């Protein structure tokens, strides 16, 4: 969905005008398009879906009679867990970057208020 929206913006803006005008307009539209996305809600939805899928695969693996079937279920479950882990690591990284930006703002305000040596 996001990829299609971005592709549409790129294709629509690379027709016609000069390159710098196209790029400026394209990035401006992309900024507004991305700003509309509710990333935390999308992540939460993906986490819930992945957790449900992991639980389902785990219950199927426990019920499987054949060893090969059980191994296949656990392989799929491991793959889903890796995806979930990556998603949650991205959340932690985003939170860390947000806090660093907040700290930068506080430091800059402190510098302005008390000077560089304050």
Band of pLDDT at residue 102, cut at 50, 70 and 90: confident
Residue 64: left if φ>0, alpha if ψ -120 to 50, beta else—which one?
beta
Task: Give the confidence band of 59 by pLDDT, cuts at 50, 70, 90.
Answer: very high
Q: Please tell me which residue, 61 or 3, carries the higher pLDDT value.
A: 61
Q: Which two three-digit tokens encode residue 9?
A: 């913006």
Percentage of the chain exceeding pLDDT 70: 68
Residue spans of the domains in the chain: they are: 1-37, 38-118
């Amino acid at each position: 969905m996001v990829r299609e929206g971005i592709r549409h913006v790129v294709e629509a803006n690379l027709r016609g005008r000069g390159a710098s005008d196209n790029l400026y307009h394209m990035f401006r539209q992309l900024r507004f398009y991305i700003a509309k996305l509710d990333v935390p809600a999308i992540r939460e939805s993906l986490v819930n879906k992945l957790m449900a899928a992991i639980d389902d695969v785990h219950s199927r693996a426990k019920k499987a009679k054949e060893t090969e079937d059980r191994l296949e279920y656990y392989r799929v479950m491991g793959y889903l867990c890796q995806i979930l882990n990556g998603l949650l690591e991205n959340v932690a990284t985003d939170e860390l970057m947000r806090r660093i930006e907040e700290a930068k703002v506080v430091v800059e305000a402190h510098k302005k208020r008390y000077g560089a040596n304050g």
